[in-house]
Each structure stands twice: as C-alpha cells, then as structure tokens.
A and B are shown apart, each in its own frame.
Chain A
Amino acid sequence: TQLLEQSPQFLSIQEGENLTVYCNSSSVFSSLQWYRQEPGEGPVLLVTVVTGGEVKKLKRLTFQFGDARKDSSLHITAAQPGDTGLYLCAGSSYGGATNKLIFGTGTLLAVQP
C-alpha cells in the first residue's frame, strides 16, 4: 500500500515567517501534486511536479520533487494570513493506468496576523 506522510501535521506561525512542509513516502511516484483546501471546500491544485529534482516556484511558494521521486517539499516565504489552509500532497502511481491520486495526511497551516 502506498502511503504519503506529511509533516508537520499542524503549524501555527506569525505573518512574515517562513515555513517548510514535507511529504515523504517509501514508494516512487510518477508525479506529485500539491493542493490547498479551505474548510468546506474542495482541494485547489497549486502545482504538479513530474521530474526528479524538479523545482517549481509559484510567487512565494517553492515546490521541490525529490531526486528519487519519493518525497517532496513545499516552502513558503513570508507567510501571509491568506496562506492559511490545509495543504495536501498527492502522488500518482508510477505506471498506473488510472492515474488515481494517493493523498498525504495533510498539514494544517494557520498564519496569524
């Protein structure tokens, strides 16, 4: 069974601080997606990483896919209250026909003004 572990589970920081969220697995994924979810809403796609070692930037967010395609990280610079939400990583099985996503356990981020 493929599992994605995220750490930390909860994070409460002050506006302006930096943070990193980790997503780890013992399995190899063909791609990994990061989503942000607000209460009562569906997950919203932030980024997809495909190549081992790939780094993508989305304004103050930096995403990295591990060289072995087993792990990923999300770094937020100068966090703002609008970044508050549940961050989910999700991996797609390598060679899987359905392309279904296996989700991580989630990181709940609260940014205090």
Chain B
Amino acid sequence: DTGVSQDPRHKITKRGQNVTFRCDPISEHNRLYWYRQTLGQGPEFLTYFQNEAQLEKSRLLSDRFSAERPKGSFSTLEIQRTEQGDSAMYLCASSRFGQNTEAFFGQGTRLTVV
C-alpha cells in the first residue's frame, strides 16, 4: 500500500498524559500537513511541513502541541498534558510540491482523552 499511513488508529489516554502520533506520507511527496477534526465538523489545519521544515503553524496549535518531520520523511505529532478538549480525529495528509497539487489523507488517529 503506497498511501498515507497513520499510527495508531485509535488512542485512549488519561487526562494529563502525553501522546505521540506518527504519519508516513506518500514517499515522493514533499508536503505534509496535520489536521484536526471534531465530530460533525470539517478538518481544521494545524501545521505544514515542506520537506523537513515546519513552515506554518495554526493558532490552534497551542504550546502543548509539537510536530516534527526529521529528514523530511515521516512526521510525528506530540500532545503534552492532554486535555479532554484534545479529543478528536487527527489527520495527516501529503502532496507533491507545486500549485494546486492534490492532497491525500491517511486514515487518521482517533484520540479519546478520559
């Protein structure tokens, strides 16, 4: 399978714990995005990487959130001191570099903070 892969698919954690999600983009894609989606809403942009450089972060990304993309391949999204409001589907997408290129999404990681 050469699509975008996310791990884990589901994560249940206690409030205050740290969690880390992984995204493996399509191999030739330079661009990588993280989005968050809550029930009944469309995905909201969190952050963007071009190769290994994190070029844009949404104001939704509080200081408890950090994302990395070492070597411009896979990416990780870490949430520290999780809160119940962090419960959501976290989606990763990748695309080629260029104007109007298509973004392909992974299956997402469903986070539940109890």
B107 located at the interface, meaning its Cβ lies under 8 Å from any Cβ of chain A in the complex: yes
Interface size on A, residues (CB 8 A): 27
Which residue from chain B places its CB closest to the CB of A33 in the assembled complex?
A: B102
One of A14-22, A55-63, A71-79, A99-107 at the interface: A99-107
Q: Are A99 and B100 in contact (CB under 8 A)?
A: yes
User: Which residues does chain B contribute within 8 Å of A100, judged by CB atoms?
Assistant: 33, 45, 48, 56
Q: Are B41 and A106 in contact (CB under 8 A)?
A: yes
Q: Are B42 and A33 in contact (CB under 8 A)?
A: no
Q: Are B44 and A99 in contact (CB under 8 A)?
A: no
User: Which residues does chain B contribute within 8 Å of A101, judged by CB atoms?
Assistant: 33, 43, 45, 93, 103
User: Which residues does chain A contribute within 8 Å of B69, judged by CB atoms?
Assistant: none
Measured CB to CB, the closest approach of chain A to B61, in angstroms, equals 13
B105 located at the interface, meaning its Cβ lies under 8 Å from any Cβ of chain A in the complex: yes
Q: Mark A9-42, 1 if CB is under 8 A from B, else 0.
A: 0000000000000000000001101010000111
Name the residue in A31, A43, A88, A104 with the highest tally of chain B Cβ atoms < 10 Å from its Cβ: A43
Q: Are A102 and B45 in contact (CB under 8 A)?
A: yes
User: Which residues does chain B contribute within 8 Å of A35, judged by CB atoms?
Assistant: 105
User: Which residues does chain B contribute within 8 Å of A68, judged by CB atoms?
Assistant: none
Q: Are A43 and B45 in contact (CB under 8 A)?
A: no
User: Which residues does chain A contribute within 8 Å of B26, judged by CB atoms?
Assistant: none
User: Which residues does chain A contribute within 8 Å of B2, judged by CB atoms?
Assistant: none
Given A41-B108, A90-B43: 13 more A-B contacts, CB < 8 Å: A40-B110, A41-B107, A42-B105, A42-B107, A45-B105, A88-B42, A88-B43, A92-B100, A99-B98, A100-B45, A100-B48, A102-B45, A103-B44
Query: B-contacting residues of A (Cβ < 8 Å)?
Result: 4, 30-31, 33, 35, 40-45, 48, 50, 88, 90, 92, 97-106, 108
